[in-house]
Amino acid sequence: MTDKSTSETVSGRTMEDIARMAGVSESTVSRALSGSHLVAEKTRERILEIVQSSGFSINEQARNLALRKTKTIEVIFPIERGTLQHVSDPFFVDMLAVLTDELGKQGYDVLMSRSPPWDDERPGCAFLGARADGVIFVGQGRHRSEIRDFARRHRQVVTWGAALRDDDHCVVGSDNIGGARQATHHMLSLGRQSIAFLGDLSLPEIHQRYEGYREALAAAGKTFDPELVINSPFDIEQARSATSEIANLYPRFDGIFASSDMIAIAAIANLRQSGIRVPDDVSVVGFDDIPSGAHMNPSITTVRQKIRTAGRVLVDQLLRAIAGETPSPQILPAELVVRQSCGAQQTSQN
Amino acid sequence: MTDKSTSETVSGRTMEDIARMAGVSESTVSRALSGSHLVAEKTRERILEIVQSSGFSINEQARNLALRKTKTIEVIFPIERGTLQHVSDPFFVDMLAVLTDELGKQGYDVLMSRSPPWDDERPGCAFLGARADGVIFVGQGRHRSEIRDFARRHRQVVTWGAALRDDDHCVVGSDNIGGARQATHHMLSLGRQSIAFLGDLSLPEIHQRYEGYREALAAAGKTFDPELVINSPFDIEQARSATSEIANLYPRFDGIFASSDMIAIAAIANLRQSGIRVPDDVSVVGFDDIPSGAHMNPSITTVRQKIRTAGRVLVDQLLRAIAGETPSPQILPAELVVRQSCGAQQTSQN
DNA sequence: TGCGGTCTTGCAAGCGCTTGCATTAATTCT
DNA sequence: AGAATTAATGCAAGCGCTTGCAAGACCGCA
């Protein structure tokens, strides 16, 4: 009655096959493979040998089903549908790398799903699929409420982003406000008079950076010029065109706080194209501290997000949630890294 | 006898619970959820409502077990253990993004596992776990033989990298040789006399680029200077230090072919630090065409890998393999993108 | 009233693996 | 040598879901 011939497992064999070949029961094979001491050494060796030569692969799904766990964490980048452009921001990537790394240490695999669970394409299929032991949202994007909803129904969720007062789930994030305040204050203290802001205010994280920017302005007694706030997406190409007009405003500002390094790079490229020098004419500070920022010309002064720490904290908290404890939200310090683009140091050449 | 209380599913409920609450059988719930026409409309609605309000999540594992498929593809970056640094090369990231995207379109999720299946930490656990319908290796790294082995046992594998003659599985890759030849030839045709090579020759892809470089040199009748071949890893920090001595060799070369854009960036930073101008004194060409390359100063002349096409082809071939057909290896054209760093155009400012 | 459809539903087997408990074989002890 | 341990196996139930097949409900029509 059973028909194994259609098995879709990578290697067509099952434990039953191995058991038969080894002349033992399935249980014994299972135990041999999981390293139980309840198996005679000789038996184990024989089984292992057969496993090897037959190219058997255990079916993790069945295994996990039986074990009632998945040892998998779903990592979601809440980005717009139809494109993963956004993800190519080095910051997100590095975060993914760190998460994969940290989760790996704890024996978890990472499942990247293309779309957030709520905009599932299956029409009329209004239920969520649980394929992981927990979920990490990297950034809230424009989906704060959905994420909140999701988190409310499922304890095993942590998210990276802006911790807001009304969040009832665990959010871990950088001190966006403080970081932005430092950055802006730094340029001001360097004698810059008028600082522009670049970023997408509809994203909570970015809005926090905007707040920090405003705070620094206020603290320095500067009046705020709304026209110097320019909406810009993360993607470098789009950022490039979003900020292409900035040079026209030029003498009105002599500093730029860009809410991500990629945006800073785009802005610098635009300024350069118009013959405006960075940092001589305009001081620029970014946010994130992406790896290549230190090697550019000029090198980018930025607010460093402690991404490694962040990943570790996220994973810690998620594992706590999975273990049934209550994870606690955290705000990680962000630190100003002074390089050339702000003009604090003299640029050396070129 | 059954104890559901310990279920680890994100939402603790099972179909059985829903069935009980709706006063129907499990089968009916299953059918209602999968959109079968074998369920009365009223029944379906009632069930859906209960599903909603109870926050039920279907257990994908069990579902997939029953369906004998996973709808998941494993994407593996064969990098050294203990770090995912390497992955932060924008090229790999973009590839990951494209793959996630393309696979998503076909209804597949992406599983990123930290380590290649062969260096599994579980001691004595010499079997492979099959948790996906197929596997994509992104780059062969130093693991050509392991990958070959792996592919030999399992049909559902494709890899991105250097197609070598003795590969018996499906490898898709850029025309590394041709691309490198073009790049080198371009500098030569610009009048440069002596071109250095930067990259890690132990990686097959890079070795192919090296071959292209040599070919162009030979074709131009240039003698080859082994001291101008400098070993450099992908990671930008490491590349920076690996190429830190390059300036010392300076008047011996007036061109650099870097086997990745990140390495090119590192090299340029080093040259600049020593007061050597790019492209005036030294012409530089990279490889990959990472997104930010166009916005740097100078912008990077490079060999573009058609990453979107690549991802699509990889996915196509893998799906063919999964469908039981024989996937065919392919070499994708790589195209030279001329920008500033090679010196073909005049740099505009700064 | 009775019979052949048409719809809906439930039953039960099965997906490949784990594990508590019972069973049997190998040892040790008195 | 016989009893009591201990070590090594197998049995069978169960993980949560799908699905072929059979059964029940309900319809119209002769």
Give, for all 350 residues of chain B, the pLDDT tens digit. 333 333 344 457 899 999 999 999 999 999 999 988 999 999 999 999 999 888 888 898 999 999 998 889 999 887 665 454 556 677 887 888 889 888 988 888 899 876 666 655 443 344 566 788 999 999 887 888 888 888 887 778 999 999 877 677 899 999 999 999 999 999 999 999 999 999 999 999 999 999 999 999 999 999 999 999 999 998 899 999 999 999 999 999 999 999 999 999 999 999 999 999 999 999 999 999 998 999 999 999 999 999 999 999 999 999 999 888 889 999 999 999 999 999 986 544 43
Average predicted confidence (pLDDT) for chain A: 86
Question: From CA A55, how far away is CA A34, in angstroms rounded?
Answer: 17
Distance from CA(A111) to C1'(D21), angstroms, rounded: 38
Distance from CA(A39) to C1'(C24), angstroms, rounded: 15
Query: Quick count: other Cβ atoms within 10 Å of Cβ A347?
Result: 17
Contact residues on chain A for B340, CB-CB shorter than 8 A: none
Q: Which of A323, A320, A285, A318 is nearest to A304 (CA)?
A: A285
Identify the pLDDT of residue A87. Answer: 60
Q: Are A138 and A116 in contact (CB under 8 A)?
A: no
A320-329 LR contacts (CB < 8 Å, sep 24+): A321/A134, A321/A155, A321/A156, A321/A157, A321/A158, A321/A170, A322/A133, A322/A134, A322/A156, A327/A158, A327/A170, A328/A170, A329/A163, A329/A167, A329/A170, A329/A171, A329/A172
Question: From CA B147, how far away is CA A314, in angstroms rounded?
Answer: 33
User: What is the DSSP annotation of A54-85?
Assistant: HT-EEEHHHHHHHHT---EEEEE----TT--G
Question: From CA A308, how far away is CA A312, in angstroms rounded?
Answer: 6
Question: From CA A25, how far away is CA A19, in angstroms rounded?
Answer: 5
Question: From CA A285, how far away is CA B215, in angstroms rounded?
Answer: 44
What residues pair up with B160 in beta bridges, in sequence order? Answer: B138, B172
Q: Structure pTM?
A: 0.87
Identify the pLDDT of residue A28. Answer: 95
Tell me the mean pLDDT in the region A221-248. 93
Tell me the mean pLDDT in the region A270-296. 95
Contact residues on chain B for A51, CB-CB shorter than 8 A: 126-127
Cα-only R_g, chain B:
26
For tokens 């139980």, name the residue: A36
**Stretch 94-133 of chain A: residues touching chain B, C-beta under 8 Å:** 94, 96-98, 100-101, 103-104, 109-115, 122, 124-133
Residue of B nearest to A50 (CA): B127
User: Is the C-beta atom of A41 closer than 7 angstroms to strand C?
Assistant: no
Range with lowest mean pLDDT among A95-104, A276-285, B147-156, B286-295? B147-156
Q: How far is B97 from chain A (nearest CA, A)?
A: 6
Q: What are phi and psi of A8, to 5 degrees?
A: -100, 0
By C-alpha to C1' distance, D19 is nearest to: B27
The closest nt to A66, taking CA to C1', is: D15
Q: Cα B121–A315–A151 angle (5° rounding)?
A: 130
Give residue-wise pLDDT tens across range A112-166: 876 666 655 443 344 556 788 999 999 887 888 888 888 877 778 999 999 877 6
Tell me the mean pLDDT in the region A82-101. 73
User: Is the C-beta atom of B31 closer than 7 angstroms to strand D?
Assistant: yes
By C-alpha to C1' distance, D16 is nearest to: B62
**Stretch 214-273 of chain A: residues touching chain B, C-beta under 8 Å:** 236-237, 240, 262, 265-266, 268-269, 272-273
Question: From CA A92, how far away is CA A88, in angstroms rounded?
Answer: 7
Subunit contact A296:B297, Cβ cutoff 8 A: yes
Return chain B residues 39..78 having CB < 7 Å to nucleic acid strand C: 39-41, 43, 62, 65-66, 68
Confidence of residue A5 (pLDDT cuts 50, 70, 90): very low
- Give the rounded percent of residues in chain A with a pLDDT score beyond 70: 87
